[in-house]
Amino acid sequence: MRLKPYLALLPMLALAACASSGDYLLFHPENLIATQEWHATIVDTVVMMLVILPVLLVIVWFGWRYRAGANAKHDPDWSHNTALELLVWGVPLLIVGGLGWYTVKTLYAIEPYNPGLLQKQIAADPQNVLHVDVIATDWQWIFVYPQQKIATIDQLVVPQGAVVKFNLTSASVSNDIYVPQLLPMIAVMPGMRTKDTFDAPKLGQWTGFAADFSGAGFSWMQFDTKIVSPADFTAWVQKAAASPDQLSYATFQKLAQPHANIGAKISYFSNPDPQLFDKVVAAAQAGVVYPVSAALTKSIASNETEK
Amino acid sequence: MAHQAAPDANTRLFAPGFAGHSQISARTLGFWLYMLSDALLFTALFAAYAVLDTPMNAAGGPIASQIVNPVEGFWQTIAILGSVTAYSLATVALKTGNRAGVMLGIVAAMVLAVVFLGFGFNDLATLTAQGNGMDRSGYLSAYFVLILTHAIHMLFGLIWMLVMLVQIPRDGFNEMVVARLLNLRMFWQFQATVWVCVYIYVYMIGA
Amino acid sequence: MQVHVPGPWSPLFGRLTLDQIPYNIPILQYTFAGAMLAAIVVVGAVLYFKKVGYFWREWLTTVDHKKIGVMYIVIGLVMLFRGFADGLLIRTQQVLANGPNAPGYMGAQHGFLPPFHFDQVYSAHGTIMILFAATPILTGFQNIVVPLQLGARDMAFPYMNALSLWLTAGAAGLVMLSLFVGDFSAAGWVGLIPLTELPYSPSTGVDYWMWAIQISSVGTTLNAINMIVTIVEMRAPGMTWFRMPIFSWTTLSTNIIGLTAFPVLGVALALLGADRYLGTHFFTAGMGGNLMLYTNLFWLWGHPEVYFLILPVFGILSEVVPTFCEKPLFGYVTMVAASFAIAGVSWVVWLHHFFTMGAGPDINGFFSVATMLVGIPTGVKVFNWAFTMYRARITYTVPMLWAMFGLFLLLAGGLTGMMLAIPAVNYTVHDSVFVIAHFHCMVLLVVAAAFAGVSYWFPKVFGFRLDESWGKAFFWTFSIATLIVFTAMFALGFEGETRRLDWTFNTAWKPMLVVEEIGMILYVISLACFALMLVFSIVNRKKNAAGPDAWGTSRTLEWLTPSPVPFYNFAVTPQVNTRDELAWRRKHGLDKAQPEHFEAIHMPSNTGMPFVIGMLAAVWGFAMIWRIWWLAAISLTALIVCVIIRSFYKNEGYHLQPEEIAAMERDLALGSVVSEQPDRSHHHYSHVEAH
Amino acid sequence: MAGSHSDPLAHPEVRMGGAMRYIAGFISTVALMGAALIVTLRHDMGYETYVEVVGGLAALALLSQAVLFYGLDISRAQIWKSVSLILTVPLFIITVGLTVWMFQSLDQRTMVMPNSAAAATQPTLLQ
């Protein structure tokens, strides 16, 4: 039994050793929002450790000191001490009070619709806000850039320094969008419109993905996320705008038919229907669904599809 | 533990002849707890109704004020309150062991309940015939299911009353029959309580 | 108004067709062969030893709370094994299906499970573990222990107790049946909406999930009523509220939750059922439905449900720790207060399960702070157990080891729970495996306490202790496996892995996925230790035979009566003088005192009706799942008729005469087993008092 | 069990009822509902006042049922029923209240109302 605490420490050490590696995506936030959330994780852990570590030590110490056969003092009736009982209520109360205050404070800083953290940046340069409409289908991500008049499947490209504002909806079932280093999760729901906001301070490339289960093709719902220089962004927009495929609502209806995009292949579209997002929301509210047949559910991503 | 007394000559370790609890009390308490759980069921339905009672959830179909009639609801209120009062008066007859009185009260309660249910089912049938059935919109789904859940409770109460009408002459007022009569009184009263909430919330405030 | 369902439908068989039997899936072939083999062995043994009558008389028709409790725990352990097998499949799939170049086996693109099968496996894993493993096991303990702790003869409603059991059993049977007839839900144990709506889940999987939960939760609600009335009405004379053992207190608080929360789940599922069967629009995205309404109702039950599971666990720890510390529990009154504080706060925290859905910061803030409040009473409990160990004399028996491990898991789960309560943190890990690791800390705390309870109360029910050395081997393998699997899972959460991935696309996750798999293999070894523990315990049962007070240091009334407990519990109802009555009697040398004379005891008769009703409920569920309307109508009518017939029974039980009790108590003192009731089927009517 | 020896008709819950009490319960509830109906039909107060008045009348009706019909009090026979009812009332308020509060905020932030006539073919801009 005295081995146990050490055993518990071993994996923690292993975790600490690995923490420096880039695989721990949440340890490496790449923008203000994600950094704030990572700080909250650290603050919470440190504050909680103030109480958890002593309790752990007390349990180990008592458990060793008062084991049978250790000849320690045995007091078979001691079961009450008013001061101690006040303490055991008081300490958690203080911790919860402190953390509660901190939580409410951070809540407004990272509020997805209008984060306090980015207020200054938006006010300083309102032109530098990039609007992207995000539509989840079964099982792909469609990004519509209304200002740039382009759309993509499974690729999100953002100019460095911009603040990105998402409108999100789904054509079929609910989902969550997630880029661990940049974009915390937010729900994507059919017939409803959620919003999310994040900043893009550093160049780089990341994988974004669906986080909330949405059916058989869910595991294959990744999208490529890039932050590029403004010049590269303009070039990229021009490339996409040159695409002969145009994203009309009729085209969208075909795209939204359930199928898994295995390998997350990227497609570009020019001239998306300017009201595409609204039409998708309105259609879902009017009861339009993209049903998944039982046969498709059973065969998707199995070898049967290739026959 | 520090305050524990040491055993003395008066200390008893066993309680021979311990009478235990009363069966009737245990049964009525148990049934009362079931009713509180049933109340939570209606609570969830009310919460669902409250969420779905917006013009948006009517999805172009009728909204509350177009389908409910507070005046007709008032007649229903009188019918159901009359029914529970008739049943309650039956349990007053129970005090003297008056079988005919108890059974008469139950029959009166059943007749009034059928009147109440007749109004309700007629409303739902009319709506459905107009194409405004429960599958028309989120709002109508909530309305129908709330009303139907209450009506199904009432139907079970009616079956229960029929059973009692057989058991009273067969068994007399033994412990089990009395416990069932008392529980049924709570159950029946509970339907009126739920109806008061439905009437106020759906028929008046909602409309 | 009946909605159109895709695929064939016939009046006679509903949606059931031959190709719904998945005979061509290899894994299911093996499972089926294994299940059939086990069934043949069990049924064959029962027939060979001519025990059919015994099973019917002593188990299937019993109304004895101890036997019902044992059956609950057996069902729970079987389902725990099934859930574990599902967990093993999930972990193995994720290791095999890691990275773009992961090969596919047995018809899958990656790994060996195609998504549709994988999704069923993880949905079944969650549903089974929470509702058909943890819940029955804990209910079983409450059934066995609470009446004994209170000094009562039985539960308040023995007949309804059996009914609760058989409803749960019927529902568990439906879940198992979904393996071989049709499929199970592929939309998560929470029933992700609108994925569970007909267009997105056209098969009968969601219906299996929905009706099985619905039927079992009726059983749970009835059981909650029974427990509360038992505790309120049936305490032995002298047992005032503040002399009641903590396990009974936590049972009371947990069943208050059960009583009030399960109806809300019933409504959530019934409204989903209305959508699927009647074409309503409660939770559809269109036509005025509101899909978050489902999530709201589900978690309105779902979060209290967490405490519904955790509170009895706290009760078990509060019994085990003082027994093996040879000291009373520190801070009894605050412990009671904390239990009720947890039950109360559990009702205002549910929204923390969907912080990310887009509600405003004031709403998230309210539910966040409310959630943190739960940390206060939970912290109090941990402190109280720690201080119980102060100036104690601790014996590290198997139950105590499990309890210590439970404390450790509670600290880990508490730390991460506080993180998840902060929306700023929650947004980054909301749907990641970090959440999975967190709540597995909590449900493995349930498992740890369950095994603590099994080893602690086993001698009370069966008259001999479990084998200590194999028990320790089981404990160490299991707890180390837990540390390995879930430390790796926390790491994966920080690596950004999300839940329910059939194909784990990021190759950087591979090392930790392999670590998890190693832990799973250790779990398999620990299961072998568990089986060997049972075998050696039965072989050595004479050596490990236990007296009334099996541990010599127990403190509560259940240890006053012989082990195994005679079916009438106490020959004479004990008079309670203080809290921790048995410890007090032992201290003053009164624990061996016997009653001077016996009086007649009134006992309820066995009845097959609860079994019949439970099975009818399962048939009705099956008929509803497959939309076989005639069968549904017949089974529902039969069920109602059975309830009515039962109300016409005149048999009010029988009286056990003083001389019979005296004889049985003599036999017990000599060490022979009298847990079987005398056969009263022929003459019990003679004992019914006339009115 | 052992209590089954006594006369079931002597049980306190059987003795509790009284004809006058039940009739009073009937009359008071019908009168309160009637008053609510009149208030509703007259339509002469602001919505919030109206909800308060009708809600108050409903609360009185429920209270009169609790006392006159259910006979709830703090006697030994009824105390646990009264206690459990009092403990359930907050759950009702929490469940309905917090749910409504939450959905009001959520609907505002996520439910964008399309012009229903144009929805199918020509949805209006939603922002």
Is C3 in contact with C276 (CB distance < 8 Å)? yes
The domains of chain C are located at 1-244+615-627, 554-607+650-691
- Please state whether the peptide bond connecting residue C166 to the residue before it is cis, i.e. omega within 30 degrees of 0: no
> What are the tens digits of pLDDT across the range C212-227?
999 999 999 999 999 9
pLDDT grade for D114, boundaries at 50, 70 and 90: low
On whether residue A296 sits in a domain, the answer given is no
Domain containing A245 — which CATH number? Answer: 2.60.40.420
Residue B131 has what pLDDT? 93
pLDDT-based confidence at residue C681 (cuts at 50, 70, 90): very low
- pLDDT value at D123 more than 50: no
Picking from D109, D125, D126, the nearest residue to A113 by CB comes out as D109
Distance, in Å, from the CA atom of A199 to the CA atom of A179, rounded to the nearest integer, reads 12
Predicted confidence at residue D2, as pLDDT, reads 39
Supply φ then ψ for residue C656, to 5 degrees: -90, 125
Looking at residue A67, the DSSP 8-state letter turns out to be B
Lowest mean pLDDT among A101-110, C124-133, D10-19: D10-19
Taking contacts as CB-CB distances below 8 angstroms, the residues of chain D near C158 are none
How many percent of chain C have pLDDT more than 70?
Answer: 96
CB contact under 8 A, D54 and B200: yes
The pLDDT of residue C390 is above 70: yes
Task: Please determine, for residue C672, whether its predicted confidence score (pLDDT) is greater than 90.
Answer: no
> Is there a domain that residue A305 lies in?
no
* pLDDT beyond 50 at C683: no
The answer to whether D99 contacts chain C (CB < 8 Å) is yes
Contacts of B175 in chain D (CB under 8 A): 4, 8
> Of C132, C156, C99, whose CA–CA distance to C217 is shortest?
C132
Using a CB-CB cut-off of 8 Å, the residues of chain A touching C500 are 213, 218
> CB–CB of D40 and B20 under 8 A?
no
Q: Quote the pLDDT of residue A8.
A: 55
Record: contact A184-C499, CB cut-off 8 A: no
* ipTM of model: 0.93
Residue A253 distance to chain D (closest CA, Å): 13
The predicted structure's pLDDT at residue A3: 53
Contacts of B56 in chain D (CB under 8 A): 107, 111, 113
DSSP structural state of residue C423: H
H or E segment to which residue A157 belongs: strand A155-159
Residue D104 has pLDDT above 50, yes or no: yes
What pLDDT is recorded for position C690? 36
Per-residue model confidence (pLDDT) at position D76: 84
Min mean pLDDT across A50-59, A73-82, A289-298 is at: A289-298
Express as a percent the part of chain D with pLDDT over 90. Answer: 59
Q: What is the pLDDT of residue C340?
A: 95
Q: What is the 3-state secondary structure (H, E, C) of C90-147?
A: HHHHHHHCECCCCCECCCECCECCCHHHHHHHHHHHHHHHHHHHHHHHHHHHHHHHHH
Same structural domain, A132 and A103: no
- Provide the number of structural domains found in chain A: 2
pLDDT above 90 as % of chain A: 85
* C-alpha dihedral sign at C416, C421, C423, C424: negative
- Name the phi and psi angles at A276, rounded to 5: -55, -50
CATH of domain B72-205: 1.20.120.80
A143 and A96 assigned to the same domain: no
Residue C144: what pLDDT? 97
Q: Is the per-residue pLDDT at A275 higher than 80? A: yes
Q: Which of C271, C572, C599 shows the shortest C-beta gap to B48?
A: C271
Domain locations in chain B? 72-205
Q: Do A277 and D119 touch (CB under 8 A)?
A: no
- Asked if C549 and C572 count as a contact pair (C-beta separation under 8 A), the reply is no
- Within 23-52 of D, beta carbons closer than 8 Å to B belong to 23, 25-26, 29-30, 33-34, 36-37, 40-41, 50-51
Residue C103, burial from CB neighbour count under 10 angstroms (0-12, 13-18, 19+): exposed
CB burial string C623-652: b at 16+ within 10 A, e below: bbbbbbeebbeebbeebeeeeeeeeeeeeb
Domain extents for chain D? Answer: 11-71, 74-109
Q: How many CA atoms lie within 13 A of C630 on its CB side?
A: 5
A98 and A44 share one domain:
yes
Collect all residues of chain B within an 8 Å Cβ-Cβ radius of residue D29.
Answer: 77, 81, 192, 196
C51 pLDDT band, cuts 50/70/90, is confident
Give domain status of residue A224, yes or no.
yes
Q: Does the beta carbon of D49 lie under 8 angstroms from any beta carbon of chain C?
A: no
> What pLDDT score was predicted for residue B3?
56
Structural tokens at position C615? 């099975």
Confidence category of residue A22, pLDDT binned at 50, 70, 90: confident
Cα–Cα distances (Å) from A117 to A32, A40, A125, in that order, read 7, 14, 14
Neighbours of chain C (3+ CB pairs under 8 A): A, B, D
pLDDT (average), residues C468-473: 96
Q: What was the pLDDT predicted at D12?
A: 87
CB contact under 8 A, A278 and D120: no
A132/A95 same-domain check: no
Q: What is the pLDDT of residues C233-274, one digit of tens each?
A: 999 999 999 999 999 999 999 999 999 999 999 999 999 999
CB contacts < 8 Å between A and C, how many?
355
Q: D13 and B207 in contact by Cβ < 8 A?
A: no
Do A99 and A177 share a domain, yes or no? no
Between D43 and A147, where is the model more confident? A147
Q: Which residues from D are below 8 Å from A278, CB to CB?
A: 114, 123-126
Output the tens digit of pLDDT for each of chain B's 207 residues. Answer: 445 778 888 889 999 888 778 889 999 999 999 999 999 999 999 999 999 999 999 999 999 999 999 999 999 999 999 999 999 999 999 999 999 999 999 999 999 999 999 999 999 999 999 999 999 999 999 999 999 999 999 999 999 999 999 999 999 999 999 999 999 999 999 999 999 999 999 999 877
Per-residue model confidence (pLDDT) at position A13: 60
Same domain, A97 and A238: no
Q: C405 pLDDT band (50/70/90 cuts)?
A: very high
List the one residue out of C319, C344, C392, C376 whose CA is nearest residue C145: C319
Lowest mean pLDDT among C173-182, C359-368, C669-678: C669-678
Q: Residue A195 burial (CB < 10 Å; 0-12/13-18/19+)?
A: middle
- pLDDT at residue A176 is higher than 60: yes
Q: What's residue D120's pLDDT?
A: 45
At C594 the pLDDT is 87
Please report the pLDDT score of residue D122 as a whole number: 39
* pLDDT of C674 strictly over 70: no
pLDDT, tens digit, for every residue of D68-88?
999 898 888 889 999 999 999
Percent of chain C with pLDDT over 90: 82
Residues in a beta bridge with A142: A135, A153
Q: For the ranges B195-199, C358-362, C520-524, which has the lowest average pLDDT?
A: C358-362
Say yes or no to pLDDT of C624 above 50.
Answer: yes
Q: What is the mean pLDDT of chain D?
A: 84
Q: State the pLDDT at residue B22.
A: 84
Look-up of token digits 């903590």: C246
User: Residue D125: which pLDDT band, with cuts at 50, 70 and 90?
Assistant: very low
The structure tokens 């009566």 sit at C561
Flag whether residue D113 sits within 8 Å of chain C, measured between CB atoms.
no
D125 touches chain A (CB under 8 A): yes
Cis-peptide, bond into residue B70, ω within 30° of zero: no
Task: Compute the distance between CA of residue C170 and CA of residue C217 in angstroms, rounded to an integer.
Answer: 11
Q: What is the topology classification, in CATH, of domain C1-244+615-627? A: Cytochrome C Oxidase; Chain A (1.20.210)
Segments forming the whole domain that contains residue A194 = 127-289
pLDDT of residue A306: 41
* pLDDT at D7 exceeding the cut of 80: yes
**How long is chain B?**
207
The chain-wide mean pLDDT, for chain C, equals 92
